[in-house]
Amino acid sequence: MKLSTTLLATSALTAAAVAAHAQDMADDMTLVSWGGAYQESQNKAYLQPYLEEHPEVSASWDESSAEAVAKLRAMNEAGNITWDLVDVVASDALRLCDEGLAMELDFNEVLAEGDDGSTPEEDFGDLLINDCFVPQIVYSTTFGYRTDMVGDTPPSSVCDVFDLETYPGKRALQKRPIDNMEWALYCDGVEKDEIYDVLGTDEGVDRALAKLDTIKDQVVWWTAGAETPQLLADGEVVMGSTFNGRLFSAIAEQDQPIDMLWDMQSFDLDGWIIPEGLPEDRLARVLDFLKFATDTQRLADQAKYISYGPARNSSAPLVGQHAELGIDMAPHMPTDPANATNVHLYDYEWWADNRDDLDAKFQSWLAQ
Amino acid sequence: MSHPATDPDKIIGTTPDNALRNADRADARADGPVLAADGTPLKRSLARALRAQKLRALALIAPLLIFVLVSFIAPIGDMLFRSVENQIVKDTLPRTVVALRDYDAASTELPRDEVFEAAYYDIFYAAERKIHTRLGSRLNYEMSGASSLFRKSGRGLDDVGELYQDQFEALNEGWDEAGPWVEIMADPEWVTEQAAWDAAPEGRMPRFELREGIAEILPRTSEAYETFARFTQVEEGDSPLEEEPWSAVHTALYQDLSATDLSGYSGPRADMLQAADALVESDGFETVAFRDAFAEVDEDWVEPEIWQTIKMYSPAYTSGYFLNSIDMQKTADGPALRDADERIYGLLFWRTLFMSLVITFSCILLGYPIAYLLSNLPSGKANLLMILVLLPFWTSLLVRTSAWKVMLQQQGVINDVLVWLGMVSDDGRLVMINNQFGTIVAMTHILLPFMILPMFSVMSTIPVSYTRAAKSLGATNWTAFWRVYFPQSVPGIGAGSILVFILSIGYYITPEIVGGTSGIFISNRIAYHISSSLNWGLAAALGSILLVVVLILYWAYDRIVGIDNVKLGG
């Protein structure tokens, strides 16, 4: 009797303490990411260290980033936001911010300073593409090829993708106009800095599609990033585009006869947004986590698990070796100077404007 | 759907319905109303009994009915409604829509200056509420570039107000402070209440009121200031007594001052206002026309296209999404077909129907013999076969689809076997996946059980004696099957076909994985517009069309075959 009273009193006290604490910061977080190796790298580099510091917090992952834009809109309309922090690519972040579904942030206030003393806005630099998006990594969409199927002269330029005579066989390309149209124009002789001007005209679109037409019946179109490594491993395609981290794991972790073609790799960003309309206690928690998870050391740590470049300038010198394989990660980063001699900077704003239009044309071309 | 056993008119006996009918007949014979035992007219007494029964029945199905209504009918209705809904333009740009009322979208001219003025205020307020980019995304579906146009304009148009704000401020610092503005614009009573609330915030903030008479003297400024004050109160929860107004209020003040003479004004801060009036009238005062300000932000604003688009999409309901989904578009001269290189939906609708039909027929061809075998084997063997038929049901859809990938790809199992047998050369491996063939094969496999099960349940009720009788009367095996057995199995085929056809018409995961470019369905585009482009209106329109097509086909099926000839079981 006495014991149970004591227990009751204690638990009531604990409950009261928890309740008091909850007014400042919630103890639950739902993080949304892409699943797979990428989410695991975030888990190891950001979340586990944070949970060690804050044992009262519990967090869960939701692997819904691919549908994040649609789901966030549905949640917003229903007035019930169940996510706290969402990992999205830059183009989705632009859309979410425009639609008012992502919260605007004052970066200098909510993010940690760089280890070298720079302000967050200086440290992230141009990668801050709008007021909502906190970038974590720079990744690229680039090509991989089968070393045993290309003869003695491996491809060295992105235009080799369009060269069916020297490199016969199928190619894997992503089933969307972004990147493919730019590569096609570049290989049709358009200067790199004029690509978007040309693509902005009807003739330019026709020109890009005509160039793609030359390889159309040799293309396997993919929608999920895992398809290309699989197609390469099966020998279904000679070369194919995908995210560089996928190719890294096929090459370094699975020892497939595949090599990277870094020429005209298309840089893209991945990062966090906070959904608009979180209650104050959850917002306080998520801001606390965000500050921790995007500091210099944490971003550099992530590169131990996956070959994507940290978005902070101050993180680059701290990039070390792969946690399990023990190989230096720097040469596998898309941002490594040796890999980044000729890169394509994908223009989010231009695509935000023209995506609907070009997608209709691209799909119509595909269906013919 | 009349049936001798269930047709109400053919049931005889003491049901309340029949009693009611008898009472009717008795009334019609004019013998006077038939009375029940307690003296009330029989009709009323029976109707009461019947109503209680019906209510009880309704109460029993109520949970299901409510569940279906809430979780199925309502969301579908809401989704379909989006295919015509278009409030966003009217809600975001209310003044512009009114000002554009007499603008002819077919003209190639720019609208009047009043429209630019209205658009300035609308976009300014929308930008404060951070909804201008949302409208930009909406209009971008109709006009490429609208997205960045609105994004830019939200900030770009601030320059207009700041031009006036700076000049007023240079004249008198008071123009950039909250206090003087409150004195000029606000109702003194409200100021006292608000000050009291600020000192001890409790309950709701007193709603901002304009000072009496100020709306006649400074109409635009009053409207702009009121918008600002209410926004500050409601959206930001701040007190207007402490916030300096938006730059749009200064723009409005400039417009009012240049239109009216304030020499007779004697209200609060008369000196400040009269000095500002004099400044506006002076030669050195810098102004900018709204049209020029828009041109400064982006040249697209002085092209007619954006105004035509806003005008065409200003009504609260639009046919635009439906036109888009049949490869047409709204133009100033009415609906017109899209350019040939942008048409896609017609082709996809046609392909979806065609492929669903092919899949249905291949399911019939493959399923019929299996169902026949199942229903004629002894039950032990039949059960074993049945498990084989049901096995795919217990495997994930994605696994089955991916398995077909392994089977059909060029370096896959089938091609390897064919090359090993020497039937195809190593260079000439067959392309069996990422095209229509792959989709048809994979989907036929996935949907086959839905064909076999209804066929089986119908066939197992066909008595063997009929075929035997036909044969004993001299029919050949074929005649006995074709004239006697087959007609009796048709209801099973009908049920299976409807199931398979309707399921396949809405499929999208399998075509997405194995369909390549020539094997994708309309549902893949619907999924794209739901999850990637966020063009839910277009997705809803495509979905509505699909729904209507299915209903028409169902109706045609009912007319041709008769829905009574469909049986899901014995």
Please name the residue of chain A whose CA is at the shortest distance from the CA of residue B409. A236
Q: What pLDDT score does A368 carry?
A: 80
> How confident is the prediction for chain B on average, in pLDDT?
89
C-alpha to C-alpha distance for A190 and A182, rounded to whole angstroms:
9
Between positions 399 and 458 of B, the ones with CB within 8 A of A are 409-411, 434
pLDDT in tens, B404-420: 999 999 999 999 999 99
| Among B465, B446, B449, B469, CA closest to B457 | B449
Number of structural domains found in chain B? 4
Question: What are A86's strand-pairing partners?
Answer: A32, A273
Q: What are the residues whose beta carbons fall under 8 Å from the beta carbon of B281, sequence distance 6 or more?
A: B257, B258
Kindly provide the b/e burial profile for residues B116-125, where b requires at least 16 CB atoms within 10 angstroms of the residue's own CB.
bbbbbbbbbb
Residues B441 and B553 in one domain: yes
C-alpha to C-alpha distance for B54 and B58, rounded to whole angstroms:
6
Residues B33 and B174 in one domain: no
Residues B152 and B173 in one domain: no
End-of-domain residue from the set B81, B101, B125: B81
pLDDT at B504 over 80: yes
Q: What pLDDT score does A41 carry?
A: 93
pLDDT in tens, A102-115: 999 999 999 999 99
The CATH code of the domain that includes B539 is 1.10.3720.10
Question: How far is Cα of residue B173 from the mean position of the Cα atoms in its chain?
Answer: 52
Average pLDDT over residues A174-180: 94
CB contact under 8 A, B144 and A353: yes
What is the phi/psi pair of residue A109, to 5°?
A: -90, -40
Average pLDDT over residues A173-190: 96
Q: Is A216 exposed, middle or buried (0-12, 13-18, 19+ CB in 10 A)?
A: middle
Residue A294 at interface with chain B, using a CB cutoff of 8 Å: no
B152 is in which domain, residue-wise? 91-157+298-337
pLDDT at B309 over 50: yes
* ipTM greater than 0.90: no
B19 located within any domain: yes
Q: What is the largest CA-CA distance in chain B?
A: 118
C-alpha to C-alpha distance for B445 and B362, rounded to whole angstroms:
10
Our CA-based measurement puts residue B144 at a distance from the nearest CA of chain A, in whole angstroms, of 5
Q: What pLDDT score does B291 carry?
A: 95
pLDDT at B333 over 90: no
CB contact under 8 A, A104 and B130: yes
Task: Copy the structure tokens of residue B504.
Answer: 């396949």
Task: Copy the structure tokens of residue B381.
Answer: 């063997």
Average pLDDT over residues A96-125: 93
| Among B440, B450, B445, B436, CA closest to B397 | B445
* Confidence bin at B36 (pLDDT 50/70/90): confident
CATH number (1.20.1050.10, 2.40.110.10, 3.30.365.10, 3.40.190.10) of A2-132+274-331 reads 3.40.190.10
Point out the residue among B130, B341, B516 whose CB comes nearest to the CB of A361: B341
B24 located within any domain: yes
CB atoms within 10 A of CB B531: 17
Task: Copy the structure tokens of residue A241.
Answer: 């585009």
* Confidence bin at B264 (pLDDT 50/70/90): confident
Q: Which residues of A touch B410 (CB under 8 A)?
A: 170, 236
CATH number (3.30.360.10, 3.40.190.10, 3.40.50.970, 2.60.40.1180) of A140-268+338-367 reads 3.40.190.10
Percent of chain B residues topping a pLDDT of 90: 67
Our CA-based measurement puts residue B518 at a distance from the nearest CA of chain A, in whole angstroms, of 6
Instruction: Look up tokens 């076999």; give the residue.
Output: B452
* Confidence bin at A134 (pLDDT 50/70/90): very high
Predicted TM-score of the model (pTM): 0.87
Q: What pLDDT score does B14 carry?
A: 66
Point out the residue among B134, B341, B409 whose CB comes nearest to the CB of A98: B134
C-alpha to C-alpha distance for A235 and A353, rounded to whole angstroms:
38
* Confidence bin at A6 (pLDDT 50/70/90): very low
Q: What pLDDT score does A18 carry?
A: 45
Judge contact between B470 and B480, C-beta under 8 A.
yes
Percent of chain B residues topping a pLDDT of 70: 95
Residues B419 and B400 in one domain: yes
Instruction: Look up tokens 């603008």; give the residue.
Output: B103
Average pLDDT over residues B229-234: 93
Q: Which residues of B touch A235 (CB under 8 A)?
A: 411
With the C-alpha atoms ordered A184, A189, A194, A198, is the resulting torsion angle positive or negative? negative
Residues B198 and B146 in one domain: no
The answer to which of B32-46, B279-293, B435-449, B478-492 has the lowest mean pLDDT is B32-46
Residues B415 and B459 in one domain: yes
Average pLDDT over residues B523-527: 93
Radius of gyration of chain B, Cα coordinates, nearest whole angstrom: 37
The helix (H) or strand (E) run that includes residue B293 is helix B290-297
Q: How far is CA A152 from CA A148, A155, A166, B105, in A?
A: 9, 10, 11, 62
* Confidence bin at A23 (pLDDT 50/70/90): low
Domain with CATH 3.40.190.10 in chain A: 2-132+274-331, 140-268+338-367
* DSSP track, B388-452: HHHGGGGS-HHHHHHHHHHHHSTTSHHHHHHHHHTSS-STT----SSSHHHHHHHHHHHHHHHHH
pLDDT in tens, A246-260: 999 899 989 999 999
Residues B449 and B540 in one domain: yes
Residue A284 at interface with chain B, using a CB cutoff of 8 Å: no
Residue B74 at interface with chain A, using a CB cutoff of 8 Å: no
Q: What pLDDT score does A12 carry?
A: 46
The helix (H) or strand (E) run that includes residue A269 is strand A258-273
What is the phi/psi pair of residue A214, to 5°?
A: -65, -20
B354 located within any domain: yes
| Among A279, A238, A234, A273, CA closest to A259 | A238
Judge contact between B272 and B172, C-beta under 8 A.
yes
Residue in A178, A356, A357 to test binding to B, most B beta-carbons within 10 Å: A356
Residues B450 and B525 in one domain: yes
B323 located within any domain: yes
Residue B133 at interface with chain A, using a CB cutoff of 8 Å: yes
Average pLDDT over residues B42-71: 89
Q: β-pairing, A58-62 with A28-32?
A: parallel
Average pLDDT over residues A193-222: 95
Question: What are A139's strand-pairing partners?
Answer: A268
What region, left, alpha or beta, does residue B420 occupy, with left being phi > 0 and alpha being psi -120 to 50 degrees?
alpha
C-alpha to C-alpha distance for B274 and B280, rounded to whole angstroms:
10
Residues B411 and B475 in one domain: yes
Percent of chain A residues topping a pLDDT of 70: 94
B3 located within any domain: no
Residues B416 and B484 in one domain: yes
Residues B447 and B474 in one domain: yes
B288 located within any domain: no
B136 located within any domain: yes
Q: What pLDDT score does B42 carry?
A: 78
Residues B212 and B325 in one domain: no
pLDDT in tens, A315-349: 988 988 998 888 999 899 998 889 999 999 889 88
Q: Which residues of B touch A104 (CB under 8 A)?
A: 130
Radius of gyration of chain A, Cα coordinates, nearest whole angstrom: 23
